[in-house]
Amino acid sequence: MKSRFIVTPSLCTGCRTCELACSFTHAQDGKIGRSRIYPLDGGFKDLYVPVVCLQCEDPACVKSCLVNAIHFNENTGAYEINPEICVGCMACVAACPFGCSLFDTQQNLVIKCDLCGGDPVCAHFCPSKALTYKPIAT
Amino acid sequence: MVTMTINGKLARAKEGEMLLAVLRREKIDIPALCHHEAVEPYGGCRLCMVEITKKEWAGGKNMVTSCLYPVEDGLIIQTHTTDLIELRKTILDLYLARCPNTPAIQDLAAQYGVTQTSYEPVTDPDDCILCGLCTRICDRMGFGAISAVNRGHSREIAPPMKNAPPDCVGCLACALNCPTNHIKYSDRGFTREIWGRKFDLVRDAKTGQPTITKEFADYLSKHSDIPRDYFELKDESHRRETALSLGKIAIWNREVPQ
């Protein structure tokens, strides 16, 4: 059963719970991590858009990676950066047209949303169901 | 699948893997300076040596660099015997003679109880241990801007003719992955300097913050078939633009009766 991460901006209340959930999920060595999801102002009144990696079909990050560090995970449907192969050249950070490949200055690593290995924590915590992770009919 | 014995414990590995990958996965602390998963193993630093034997070798033993030795069925591996620790001590002693002021080498040597080199230190020390990781990563990324030059004691890593390298794009992959932080670079304002060459950084069209170098952006758009205007914005501005355009779509969806 394949699942898909669905973002519905019109339901988002801008409460930033997803950002907190992401930071705490990716905490390491007792420090909270950098959030991979950004609930930003959508440009209209009371409209917020959670900007997160969209797991594109033809992703610019994978094309730009010169050492093939980003692989598609068949089980979760997410593109994952292998931190051991990554050389930190920031090509994917500059290439992503949605700005969802980030550089974590705390760990000196390039990070992106990996759908928490198949069970996105932000979707659990979203109070208004703007973020959902649902099986898709195939 | 192959089965091996590491320090008396059974361990499984995939065919074609190198020993170092298995040892790292089994959480065994093996020092290695020249190893990086992105490039082919090289066996330059010699610190990842382990002792291998097999039942049918009748007591015969061999010391191999684990980064270069592929897994075999029935291998019996010892990682911290007295001989191996003596060997690593000698190697670190030699490294300390070459790089006496390098924090990474000092820390590693102190772990093995070497605080003072017993050899004569070089007169003009630098931080380079000549592991070649920078040149291998540069080659792997397809630039090949730097290489090892000269032989013997005058061997060093340098761009061609020690001039500003024409093939370098200023991606900093060599400097960021150097195990001893020997490669120096500077990011001042909108210029980056590395290997004696100056690069202009791309300015974010919205906020004016610096991103990657213009040469790297040109190379990526040409080599990887990515539109050049993707590189005009920093990730922060890209996110803001995404929020605004997706917000417009959300408003439009709200107004259209479902």
- Decide if A87 and B137 are in contact by the 8 Å CB cutoff: yes
Strand partners of residue B50: B64
Assigned fold of B2-80: Ubiquitin-like (UB roll) (3.10.20)
Chain segment B187-203, per-residue pLDDT in tens: 998 999 999 999 999 99
Distance between start and end Cα atoms, chain B: 56
Kindly report each contact of residues A102-111 with a partner whose C-beta sits within 8 Å and lies 24 or more positions away, as own/partner: A102/A34, A102/A36, A102/B235, A103/B235, A104/A33, A104/A34, A106/A31, A106/A33, A106/A34, A107/A28, A107/A33, A108/B176, A109/A83, A110/A81, A110/A83, A110/A86, A111/A26, A111/A33, A111/A34, A111/A36, A111/A81
Strand partners of residue A138: none
Report the chain B residue with the minimal C-alpha distance to residue A83: B37
* Residue A123's pLDDT band (cuts 50, 70, 90): very high
Report helix, strand or coil for B69. Answer: coil
Is there a contact between B180 and B128 (Cβ–Cβ < 8 Å)? yes
* Residue B31's pLDDT band (cuts 50, 70, 90): very high
CATH for A3-135, options being 3.30.70.360, 3.30.70.20, 3.40.605.10, 3.40.50.1370: 3.30.70.20
> Chain A: nearest CA to B111, how far in angstroms?
22
Chain segment B101-139, per-residue pLDDT in tens: 999 999 999 999 999 889 998 888 889 999 999 999 999
Distance CA A20, CA B140 (A): 38
ipTM of the predicted structure? 0.89
Report helix, strand or coil for A38. Answer: strand
Report the chain B residue with the minimal C-alpha distance to residue A49: B243
Q: Domain residues of chain B, as ranges?
A: 2-80, 133-240
Q: List chain B residues with CB under 8 Å of A99.
A: 233-242
Q: Domain residues of chain A, as ranges?
A: 3-135
Report the chain B residue with the minimal C-alpha distance to residue A69: B38
Residues contacting residue B256 through CB under 8 Å, at least 6 positions apart: none
Strand partners of residue B187: B192
Residue A48 predicted with pLDDT over 60: yes
Is there a contact between A14 and A48 (Cβ–Cβ < 8 Å)? yes
Chain segment B84-106, per-residue pLDDT in tens: 999 999 999 999 999 999 999 99
Residue B151 predicted with pLDDT over 80: yes
Count residue pairs from A and B with Cβ separation < 8 A.
133
Residue A1 predicted with pLDDT over 70: no
Measured CA distances, B209 to A103, B172, B237, B242 (Å): 15, 18, 10, 18
Residue B258 predicted with pLDDT over 70: no
State mean pLDDT over B32-55.
Answer: 92
Q: Which two tokens stand for residue A32?
A: 């909270």
> Chain A: nearest CA to B1, how far in angstroms?
22
Q: List chain B residues with CB under 8 Å of A86.
A: 38
* Residue B257's pLDDT band (cuts 50, 70, 90): low
State mean pLDDT over B72-81.
Answer: 92
Length of chain A: 138
Is there a contact between B33 and B43 (Cβ–Cβ < 8 Å)? no
- Decide if B234 and A99 are in contact by the 8 Å CB cutoff: yes
Quote the mean pLDDT of chain A: 89
Residue B36 predicted with pLDDT over 90: yes
State mean pLDDT over A6-23.
Answer: 90
Quote the mean pLDDT of chain B: 91
Q: Can you count the helices (H) and strands (E) in chain A?
A: 4, 8
Residue B59 predicted with pLDDT over 70: yes
Chain segment B233-253, per-residue pLDDT in tens: 998 999 999 999 998 988 888
Q: Which two tokens stand for residue B45?
A: 């630093």
Chain segment A84-116, per-residue pLDDT in tens: 999 999 999 999 999 999 998 888 889 999 998
Specify the pLDDT at position A2. 79
Distance CA A5, CA B54 (A): 50
B168-199 residues labelled b (16+ CB within 10 A) or e (exposed): bbbbbbbbbbbbbebbeeeeeebebebbebeb
- Residues of chain B with pLDDT > 90, as a percent, come to 77
pTM of the model: 0.88
Q: CB-CB: which of B141, B240, B246 is closest to A67? A: B141
Distance CA B73, CA B206 (A): 59
B14-41 residues labelled b (16+ CB within 10 A) or e (exposed): eeeebbbbbbbebebebbbbbbbbbbeb
Specify the pLDDT at position A70. 94
